[in-house]
Amino acid sequence: MLIVGFVAFYVLGKSAGNAGTAPASATNSTANPTPGSSTPANSPAPSADSKPGSSLLRTDSTLVSARSSFKTRLKSGPRDSSPVDVPPSGTFKLDQYDAPVGRLFAYVTPDPGDGKKHPAIIWITGGDCNSIGEVWLPAPSENDQTAAQYRQAGMVMMYPSLRGGNNNPGQKEGFLGEVDDVLAAAEYLLSKPYVDPENLYLGGHSTGGTLVLLVAASTNRFKAVFSFGPADQVVGYGADSGYLPYDFRNREEHVIRSPIVWVENIQSPVYVFEGGRGTASAVTNLQGKSISLKNRNLSFHLIQGTDHFRILQPANQYLAQAIQRSADTRMPLEVSADELKRAVLGNQPVSVPGRS
């Protein structure tokens, strides 16, 4: 499911060790709050009712360890009973993969039949990222959330639906159990004989960008992870967003799901992208945290002159070609900040030696 709008962000404050508090220069005006600002959403702030001794999170441990012992308390709500759309034959295959809650739907590139192993990417869309829809349809350049550029470059793609979406088993957990679903999707994709296991990537936009950061903090299985417009702290989505189906007053529920708390755990190359008119302060906060922790696995690209949506098509085109170049030359992935900026702002195709 693709995102169709914005919500405002605010910070957890002391409950996360002041992680992610935006500097004054990065905080947006309160007159027109945008994603990433420190302006409160129209929902109550979390209270301090996480009592000592009641399974308080150890944020000095790893995310994997914290998640293994954390018991979430989910609110009951209506199930998503909408059926998954059937893709056109030859473009994607509608399949199911085994996840901890059961078999979940996914769109997967069919075997090209050329006997080769191809680079592959799992893509998590924004908005209700538990559900998938018609990602094969053309999209306008100013708001192309399909990530079709990877498919057009010859890569294998997988769009997994997650627990509770598209009439799947399980319940939506809002960035918690969904991490396990994405990891299960990776194992499924790696089982395909036409997928190159050395060139497996993960990407996502908006809520999907937030989720892939949590996945990156849980595994080093991906060659690189691309996060577009993520939140630094999920509390900013707001109690009424539909993305956080738990007790909104409980700080621990927010902390376990907030990427900024777990930046130290990221061991694979992670690239964070956003337009200057998008969730800028959230990206600034994540960058500041990674710098303070001296974690050089993260690279940040905040491009002025574009926004949360316009950045997607040209940036994904650039990344798709960079991946193919890396696969062709068997060299590490290289992302040039200058070339990326030219590709995004000029919307010019990037020349890759040896490829048409």
pLDDT of residue 79: 79
pLDDT of residue 112: 96
pLDDT of residue 1: 59
Residue 245 CA to chain centroid, in angstroms? 18
pLDDT of residue 348: 44
Paired tokens of 236: 């900013």
Domains of the chain: 91-346 (3.40.50.1820)
For 1, what's the count of Cα atoms within 13 Å in the CB-facing half-sphere?
A: 18
pLDDT of residue 353: 36
Using alpha carbons only, what angle is made at residue 82 by residues 157 and 185, rounded to the nearest 5 degrees?
30
SS3 assignment, position 168: coil
Break the chain down into helix, strand, coil percent, rounded to 5: 30, 15, 55
Name, in order, each residue with C-beta under 8 angstroms of 259's C-beta and a sequence gap of 6 or more: 210, 213, 214, 217, 230, 231, 232, 233, 286
The pTM of the full predicted model, rounded to 2 decimals, is 0.84
pLDDT of residue 46: 33
pLDDT of residue 305: 95
Among the listed residues 207, 197, 137, 217, the one whose alpha carbon sits nearest the alpha carbon of residue 173: 207
Report the DSSP beta bridge partners of residue 118: 195
Among the listed residues 165, 146, 167, the one whose alpha carbon sits nearest the alpha carbon of residue 157: 146
Q: 22-26 — which CB contacts under 8 Å span 24+ positions? A: 22/281, 22/284, 22/285, 23/284, 23/288, 26/280, 26/281, 26/284, 26/285
Cα–Cα distance measured from residue 342 to residue 350, given in angstroms and rounded to the nearest whole number: 9
SS3 assignment, position 193: coil
Q: What are phi and psi of 157, to 5 degrees?
A: -125, 150
Q: Residue 122 in contact with residue 185, Cβ under 8 Å?
A: yes
Other Cβ atoms less than 10 A from the Cβ of 333: the count is 17
- Which residues in the chain land under pLDDT 70? 1-60, 347-356
Cα–Cα distance measured from residue 137 to residue 109, given in angstroms and rounded to the nearest whole number: 15
Other Cβ atoms less than 10 A from the Cβ of 59: the count is 19
C-alpha to C-alpha distances, 244 to 77, 87, 139, 241, 311, nearest whole angstrom: 11, 29, 28, 7, 26
Cα–Cα distance measured from residue 19 to residue 140, given in angstroms and rounded to the nearest whole number: 36
C-alpha to C-alpha distances, 197 to 107, 227, 318, nearest whole angstrom: 19, 21, 22
